[in-house]
Amino acid sequence: MAAEDIRLYPHPLIAREGWPFVALSVGLAVVATALDWTVLAVLLWLAAVFVIQFFRDPGRSPPVGEGLITSPADGRIVVVGKTVDPITGKDSLKISVFMNVFNVHSNRSPIQGKVIETQYFPGAFLNAAVDKASEQNERCAMVIEDPQGRRLTCIQIAGLVARRILCYVKPGDSLLRGARYGFIRFGSRVDVYCPLEAQALVSVGDKVYAHTTALARW
């Protein structure tokens, strides 16, 4: 998908990735209702409601301020600390966002910039909340550089239930901050590796929202 398409992707309320699942779940519920299969219909409507809430993709407003790095995902902060960026090999400030199945799972660029590198790593499907998931789980990494030449790395990580990481960008694509660049289905995590001099603005346990919450400032 071209960078222009990502920038112009509207706020659809339901993520484009979810429409086949929504159509299937609602269709089955409608059929069961029409056939008067009451118990099955109730279960299917509950499943349809879950599918719709999972794939919801609301519009978001960015925080006000200079040099802000915004959250790439909704969820809860599970890691804030210094470590080595596994892609660039540089000392970095790592901030990890864990998404449960009730969070919005559309992933957004934390900064404006140009995609320098993307890498996919096959792996396991451990609970994404545990720290070793960063090294052992299936994941997809994106390195992005802002107009001032500063770089950070975002790594989408599959979780215990997640089996599908979608990353729409490739090297050379340009992203606005908050642009949708990927999606992870059914519980997962995103690790952000900022330059070591960046100032963390969140703590472990904080709830964050994609494009709305500032994770750090550089």
Q: Where in the chain are the domains?
A: 7-57, 63-217
With 70 as the cut, is the pLDDT of residue 148 above it? yes
| Residue 32 confidence class, pLDDT cut points 50, 70, 90 | very high
Q: What integer is the mean pLDDT of 73-81?
A: 95
Q: Return the higher-pLDDT residue of 90 and 9.
A: 90
User: Which of 1-5, 178-182, 203-207 is the least confident region?
Assistant: 1-5
CA separation for the pair 108, 153 (Å, rounded): 13
**Rounded to two decimals, what is the model's pTM?**
0.82
* Secondary-structure class of domain 63-217 per CATH: mainly beta
User: Which of 2-16, 38-52, 81-95 is the least confident region?
Assistant: 2-16
The interaxial angle of helices 19-34 and 38-54, nearest 10 deg, is 160
Residue 117 corresponds to which amino acid? E
Q: How would you classify the pairing of strands 56-57 and 68-70?
A: unpaired
Tokens (6 digits) for 195:
């330059």
Which of the residues are catalytic?
188
User: Are 140 and 155 spatial neighbours (Cβ–Cβ below 8 Å)?
Assistant: yes
